[in-house]
């Protein structure tokens, strides 16, 4: 119980996000999972096979970077290998949300792979960034985790082909959840325009460059691992 007392605020926020994912239908059944790296060797993670809207403090699981369970009565999510890779390869990342927002998932089952790689809305460009499609692999496997390798250091958001969505950030779990909302709303607008047969209009190179200048004043850091990307416009136009 000591870990729960030490991280009482974080666990409350974690459970709040579980509830929001459920109420907004970004997950269904026992699907989806999330994790928060609280210390270098301590990760709070969701339990396996449990509806996120039902999760309470006593259901949470804590593991170390070896994947060993250090607290909790339930088993951690079966996607544990994916999270261990994320936190190992991206030590700058603190929180990760994996869920199944319907519009983003639509972008994961169409042959067009760049729907969320283009700049359409300033808020998305500033706070979520582009989201590449990670090739499909069987869920809960080391192969699925490994498929993130070519993309993991460059981006913070990822569409999982024929599966779902992952967003990560150096911020708390609520901030990372909000990036899911942003990208889902963007995907919804894109799909509505395409369904109406309308041509999409992207932000211009100069627009994105100017947004990049705004990031420091808002306390925002460039997506990807520190030093990996030159600037915001390179993420969208190179």
Tokens of 169: 């950030």
List of E strands, 94-151: 95-99, 133-134
Cα separation of 177 and 191, whole Å?
21
Cα separation of 52 and 73, whole Å?
16
Percentage of the residues of the chain whose pLDDT score is greater than 70 = 100
Tokens of 198: 């309308």
- State mean pLDDT over 170-198: 98
What pLDDT shows up at residue 140?
A: 87
Which DSSP letter does residue 42 get? E
What pLDDT shows up at residue 197?
A: 97
Cα separation of 125 and 232, whole Å?
8
Name the nearest CA neighbour of 131 among 210, 184, 177.
184
What pLDDT shows up at residue 58?
A: 95
What pLDDT shows up at residue 1?
A: 63
What pLDDT shows up at residue 22?
A: 97
For 31-160, where are the alpha helices, taking DSSP H only? 80-89, 102-107, 122-127, 142-146, 149-152
Tokens of 125: 């460009």
- State mean pLDDT over 204-232: 97
Angle (CA) 124 128 130, round 5°: 85
Does position 157 have pLDDT exceeding 80, yes or no? yes
Name the least confident of 96-100, 141-145, 220-224: 141-145
pLDDT in tens, 192-212: 999 999 999 999 999 999 999
Q: Are 103 and 178 in contact (CB under 8 A)?
A: no
pLDDT in tens, 39-80: 999 999 999 999 999 999 999 999 999 999 999 999 999 999
Percentage of the residues of the chain whose pLDDT score is greater than 90 = 97
- Dihedral sign for Cα atoms in the order 191, 194, 198, 202: positive
Number of H helices and E strands in the chain, helices first, is 10, 8
Angle (CA) 79 80 82, round 5°: 70
Q: Are 183 and 104 in contact (CB under 8 A)?
A: yes
Cα separation of 221 and 118, whole Å?
19
Does position 163 have pLDDT exceeding 90, yes or no? yes
What pLDDT shows up at residue 81?
A: 95
Following DSSP, what letter does each residue of 162-210 receive, concatenated?
A: TTEEEEEESS-HHHHHHHHHHHHHHHHHHHHHHHTTPPP-PPPHHHHHH
Mean pLDDT, all residues of the chain: 97
Q: Which domains, from first to last, does the chain contain? A: 2-237 (3.40.225.10)
Strand order through the sheet with 42-45: 69-71, 61-63, 42-45, 33-39, 95-99, 164-169, 157-160, 133-134
How would residue 2 be classed by pLDDT, with cut points 50, 70 and 90?
Answer: confident
Tokens of 209: 């460059």
- State mean pLDDT over 142-159: 97
pLDDT in tens, 6-26: 999 999 999 999 999 999 999
């Amino acid at each position: 119980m000591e870990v729960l007392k030490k991280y009482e605020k974080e666990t409350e926020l974690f459970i709040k996000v579980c509830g929001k994912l459920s109420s907004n239908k970004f997950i269904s059944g026992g699907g989806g999972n999330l994790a928060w790296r609280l210390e270098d060797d301590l990760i709070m993670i969701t339990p396996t096979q449990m509806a996120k809207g039902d999760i309470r403090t006593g259901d949470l699981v804590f593991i170390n970077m070896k994947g060993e369970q250090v607290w909790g009565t339930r088993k951690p999510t079966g996607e544990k290998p994916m999270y261990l890779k994320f936190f190992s390869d991206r030590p700058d990342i603190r929180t990760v949300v994996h869920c199944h927002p319907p519009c983003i998932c639509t972008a994961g089952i169409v042959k067009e792979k760049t729907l969320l790689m283009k700049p359409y809305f300033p808020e998305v460009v500033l706070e979520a960034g582009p989201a590449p499609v990670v090739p499909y692999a069987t869920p809960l496997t080391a192969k699925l985790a490994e498929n993130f390798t070519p993309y993991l250091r460059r981006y913070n958001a990822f569409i999982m082909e024929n599966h779902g969505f992952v967003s990560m950030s150096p911020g708390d779990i609520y901030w990372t959840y909000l990036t899911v909302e942003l990208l889902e709303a963007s995907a919804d607008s894109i799909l509505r325009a395409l369904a109406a047969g309308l041509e999409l209009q992207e932000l211009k190179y100069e627009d994105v460059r100017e947004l990049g200048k705004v990031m420091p004043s808002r306390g925002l850091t460039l997506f990807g691992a520190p030093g990996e990307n030159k600037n915001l416009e390179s993420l969208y136009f190179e």
